[in-house]
């Protein structure tokens, strides 16, 4: 039987980003098809900076590639293969409804991914919303609750079936049922071949959800591996390992 080869969809090597007094220096980080990786670390360690760099939103030195193509955020054809679920409920068009947001996204995806069909994308948006138990209201997004905005953003991110999903605090704003549905959607996308790079402060969630965990501290990856690989004998969970790791490098 031929073994399925999982290709690398996101790769960073010797990436340096400077934001004022803060410096992010990533020696190496890569994601393969079907993989879920979580970034964990103290406040200010560089998780969001790393996500923004993966999205091509911050200037950097070093090598960053998506689907094997060098990526600095300027190529819209590469951007069309990346989905982003932010932790900021304001990152929506405030004067559009959810369905209007999705229609705008569908038109952009259709432009840069010629195989995409507008009717299929609109149908997919409704299916994704239904999975999230979300019936989009007719009001404008500025009138939505935090949870409704988050669900709108999740549908928008998944709409084009991207190969790379960048996620910042998936569960923030979602009730427990919606959180489970959102996790199930991401796992389904991974089975299709997508990869997920997620940042979180929730170590319990990272331990349960991720295949691979990167621990960041002061702009660097100080530990990486599965939850089991990061734990030493006697440590019951990722939280115990995390506290030890940060103490050792502080």
Read off the tokens for 193. Answer: 């071949």
Residues across the chain: 250
Cα distance between residue 78 and residue 112, in whole Å: 9
Residue range 1-75+164-169+194-250 in CATH 3.40.50.300? yes
Helix (H, G, I), strand (E, B) or coil at 5: coil
Residue the block writes with tokens 């959810």:
98
First-to-final CA distance of the chain: 48
- Per domain, the residue ranges of the chain are 1-75+164-169+194-250, 82-161
Burial of 113 (0-12, 13-18, 19+ CB in 10 A): middle
Burial of 43 (0-12, 13-18, 19+ CB in 10 A): exposed
pLDDT in tens, the chain (250 residues): 445 678 999 999 999 999 999 999 999 999 999 999 999 999 999 999 999 999 999 999 999 999 999 998 889 889 989 999 999 999 999 999 999 999 999 988 888 876 678 888 989 999 999 999 999 999 999 999 999 999 999 999 999 999 999 999 999 999 999 999 999 999 999 999 999 999 999 999 999 999 999 999 999 999 999 999 999 999 999 999 999 999 999 8
């Amino acid at each position: 039987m031929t073994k399925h080869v999982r290709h690398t969809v996101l790769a960073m090597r010797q990436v340096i980003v400077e934001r004022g007094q803060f410096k992010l220096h990533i020696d190496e980080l890569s994601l393969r098809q079907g993989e879920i990786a979580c970034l964990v670390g103290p406040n200010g360690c560089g998780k969001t900076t790393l996500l923004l760099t993966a999205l091509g939103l911050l200037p950097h030195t070093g090598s960053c590639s998506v689907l094997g193509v060098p990526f600095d955020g300027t190529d819209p054809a590469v951007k069309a293969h990346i989905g982003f679920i932010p932790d900021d409920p304001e990152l929506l068009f405030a004067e559009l409804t959810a369905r209007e947001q999705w229609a705008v996204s569908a038109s952009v995806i259709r432009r840069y991914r010629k195989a995409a069909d507008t009717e299929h994308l609109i149908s997919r948006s409704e299916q994704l919303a239904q999975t999230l138990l979300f019936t989009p209201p007719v009001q404008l997004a500025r009138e939505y609750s935090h949870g409704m905005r988050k669900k709108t953003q999740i549908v928008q991110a998944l709409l084009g079936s991207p190969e790379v999903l960048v996620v910042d605090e998936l569960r923030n704003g979602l009730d427990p049922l919606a959180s489970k549905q959102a996790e199930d959607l991401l796992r389904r996308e991974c089975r299709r071949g997508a990869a997920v790079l997620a940042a979180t402060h929730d170590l319990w969630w990272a331990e349960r959800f991720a295949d691979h965990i990167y621990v960041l501290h002061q702009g660097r990856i100080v530990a990486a591996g599965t939850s089991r690989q990061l734990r030493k004998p006697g440590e019951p969970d990722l939280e115990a390992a995390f506290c030890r790791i940060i103490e050792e490098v502080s």
